[in-house]
Every structure is written in structure tokens, then in C-alpha cells.
Homo-oligomer: A and B are copies of this chain.
Amino acid sequence: MLTEPITLPPRGVPAEAAELHDILTDIVQLSGRVTRLATRATQDPETPATWRTLAVLQQHGPMRLGELARLSNVAQPTMTKIVAGLVERDWVKRIADQDDARAWQIGISSKGVTVLTEWRAKLATTLLPMFEDLPDADVQTLRKAVDLLRPRIELGSAAAALQSGKDDH
């Protein structure tokens, strides 16, 4: 039974990579806490999956359900469920795919844009007090970190999708 914080140095990793190693695990762990804090602090009745899905659609425009699943890093049946819920609330629309009768194009609706925007506003308003005193230099650091992280996470999503696609066979 351990009562003290512990830090084990990763083994067999070059010294430089070791730091990156630690940062990556820190980022993942912190991300989980940020998500929980955001949903609780805003008392959001919606689930993160909703906003993640809408955000992907807003950012990339309409796409097939399968592609949406890949970009959101969920399995296709999971996305079928999520989209069903969003369609019911008119936050996304299904458009028949001209070229392929099996597929749909899923696009965010104007109502979806509205609720997503409102969520972002509420989120920011709720979290702002915790960061108001943040020096401008730190704000810039956060800006840079987000900007350099995001493209890699998005690329990572695509790569992970390919990977799991391969395994599916």
C-alpha cells in the first residue's frame, strides 16, 4: 500500500525522448481532467460526444458517417447512435449521397451551429474567472501549445483510423 506520490523514470528511452514521453502522458491525463471540469463547471446536460461531433462537422463541413467516426475517433456504430440523437434534435442533417446509395452526407444544421456557439460561449464564461489573472505571456504559451498540438492530434486521428482499418480486414 503506497501513500506517497511516485515518479518512475521510463526505462530504455533516450534522455531527450524521456522528457517528451512525460509531457505526452501529462497532456493525456490533464486532458481528461479538463473535460470533466468543463462539463461539471458549466453544468452541461450534454455529453462531450455531442460537442466533439458537432465541432468536427463545423470545422470540416459535411461528410460521410464513417469518415465522421474516424475523425472523431469512435467506432462506426457509435457514430450511428450519436448521429441518430443529433438528427432527432435537428442539430445535424442527413443528405443523400448522390454517388452512393449506401451512404449519407452528414452536415451540421444552422441550429447545430447555434447551440455549439452557445456552448462555447458558456464554457468560456465559466472558465474565464480561473484564468483572468494569467499573464499575457502565459496566454501566448497556451495559444502556441494548442496550435502546435492540434494538427498532430488530427493527423493522429487519421493515422489511428488507418491502423484500425487495417486490422478490421
Contacts and interface: CB of A to CB of B under 8 A. Distances in A.
Interface of A: 1-6, 8, 10, 16-17, 19-38, 40-41, 48, 51-52, 55, 58-62, 72-74, 93, 95, 107-110, 113, 117, 120-121, 123-125, 127-128, 130-132, 134, 136, 138-139, 141-146, 148-150, 152-157, 159-160, 163-164
When all copies of this chain in the complex are counted, the total is 2
A6 B40 contact: no
A31 B32 CA distance: 7
A157 B51 CA distance: 21
B139 A23 contact: yes
Contacts of A1: 93, 95, 107, 109-110
A38 B35 CA distance: 14
